[in-house]
Structures are given as C-alpha cells and as structure tokens.
Amino acid sequence: MAKKVLLAVVMAMVVTVFAGTSFAADENIGVRFRAIYVKPNEDIDGALNSLNLKIGDDIIPELDLEYFFTKKVSVEAIAGVTRHDIRSNGSIIGSTWLLPPTITVKYHPFGGSTVSPYIGAGINATFPFSSSTVLGKKADIDNTVGWAAQAGIDFKIAEHLYFNLDYKYINAESKLSIDNGTKYKLDLNPSLFAMGVGYRF
C-alpha cells in the first residue's frame, strides 16, 4: 500500500508540473555524464548478526537525461549498473549486481543562474541480478520500489556546458534468501555521491 501511495504522489507531482508551468525558452533538454560513488547503508536481519554481513561500495559511470519544464522545475532520469561484493566477517562470500533506474522531480530556486543549487524527490526501482555466493549456492535478492531524495548544484562553465555535483539517497528495502530458503531483511538504502559534466540544448 505504501508503495502505491508513493507512486501516486510522484505522478501527482509530475501532473502538477505539466498543468501549472510553461516550457523554458531554451536549454530545456540536458544530457549528463557522471561518475558515482555508491555506498550502501545496509540494514540486515538480526537473525544474521553472527555473519556480520556487509555490502561493498562501488564506483560507476552514469548517464542521465533531464528535461526542464521551466528554468526552475525539471525532471531527471538516471541509469547505471552497480556491482557489490557481499562480505561476512571481512571475507567475500558472494556478490550481486543492481540496476536502479530512478526518476526525480527537481526544483532549482535560482534556475538560469551561473551557480544553481537544487533539491529533488522521486521514485526508484532496484532490480538485483546475477547474485551468487562463493559456495555455489543461489542467492536471491528481491526487487524493490521506493523513494529517492536528492540535492545538488550546477555550475555553468561555458555556453550550454555545466559541471555538476549531486547527492542522492535511495530507499531500497529488500529481502535475501539462499537456495530459495528463508527470506531475511536486507535493506540496501544506498547513498550516491556524483560529479560530472552535462550539455543542455
């Protein structure tokens, strides 16, 4: 139910933007390439405390698209794939890949300025795949749908060219099972720290 409410809220935000704003005169489409440091803030089922499980960090390239409805309101979509080691008491016991597409609606209070901070909120879906263990057992991590929050700043460095710093927090509450056995809580909840350059046209 909570996920359905979240989706409804995000869709309402997008509809409100369409209904209440006009298109920017120029530079309303942006393409950006960033490097992202992904740091899970894992919260793992207490029944697994003796294993001292940790989800590893990753650094990845990321591509995102941004559309400006006005100079102050935009929507951003990001795509990237991350790989994370799974450790128990410091030793690698497995790994997983994550595909976490995310869409956020952003507000730029000083839109159009050379230095333009912003905040945003939206929705994320995380799809784990190719999860495995060193023992050859099958690891299953459930797909998740949750909310996303972000803050960042754009610096205009040339005509149509921008340098960007960005932070996102992704709510990703999942479950883990081995060989289709008992499912245990595995909340990933990663922080994403990014920097990159973008072009608007």
Residue 97 carries which side chain, given as an amino acid letter? W
Residue 23 has pLDDT above 90, yes or no: no
Give me the pLDDT at residue 4, please: 46
Among the residues of the chain, which ranges form H helices? 2-20
Residue 180 has pLDDT above 70, yes or no: yes
CB pairs under 8 A, 24+ apart, for 63-66? 63/31, 63/32, 63/33, 64/31, 64/32, 64/34, 65/29, 65/30, 65/31, 65/32, 66/29, 66/30, 66/31, 66/32, 66/106, 66/198, 66/200
Give me the pLDDT at residue 26, please: 74
Please tell me the distance from the alpha carbon of residue 146 to that of residue 13, in angstroms, as a whole number. Answer: 16
pLDDT tens digits along 90-127 = 999 999 999 999 999 999 999 999 999 999 999 999 99
Residue 160 Ramachandran class (φ > 0 left, ψ -120 to 50 alpha, else beta): left
Domains of the chain: 2-18+26-200 (2.40.160.20)
CA distances from 62 to 45, 78, 152, 168, 184 (A): 31, 7, 16, 13, 30
Q: What's the pLDDT band for 86 if we cut at 50, 70, 90?
A: very high
What is the rounded average pLDDT of the residues 6-27? 48
Supply the pTM of this predicted model: 0.84
